[in-house]
Amino acid sequence: MKKLIIDRFEGKYAVCELEDKSIINVPKYKLPLNCKEGDCLIRDAEGMYQKDSETTKIQEKRILEKMGRLFS
C-alpha cells in the first residue's frame, strides 16, 4: 500500500507527496469526499484512496507541537 499526504488541490487533481518526498497528481474522483489538504491517504488494491485518520492525527499533532516551539 502506498501512503501519501495531500499537499494541495489544483483543478481536477490533488497534488500529493509520497513517502519518498516525490510528488504525484491524483484525480479527485479517486479520493474520499471529505478529504482536505494535509490528510494522509492509503491507496488500496483497486487504486482508490482511503483516508488514514490515525496517521493524519499524528501528523497534525506533530506539526502543532513544532509550531508551538517555534512561536513560543
Q: What pTM, to 2 d.p., does this model score? A: 0.82
Helix intervals (H) in 2-72:
53-71
Q: How many CB atoms lie within 10 A of CB 49?
A: 23
CA distances 8 to 18, 43, 45, Å, are: 13, 18, 24
Residue length of the chain: 72
Using a pLDDT cut of 70, give the percent of the chain over it: 99
Burial (0-12, 13-18, 19+ Cβ within 10 Å), 67: exposed
pLDDT digits (tens, 9 = 90+) for 9-67: 999 999 999 999 999 999 999 999 999 999 999 998 888 999 999 998 998 899 999 99
What are the chain's domains?
3-71 (2.30.30)
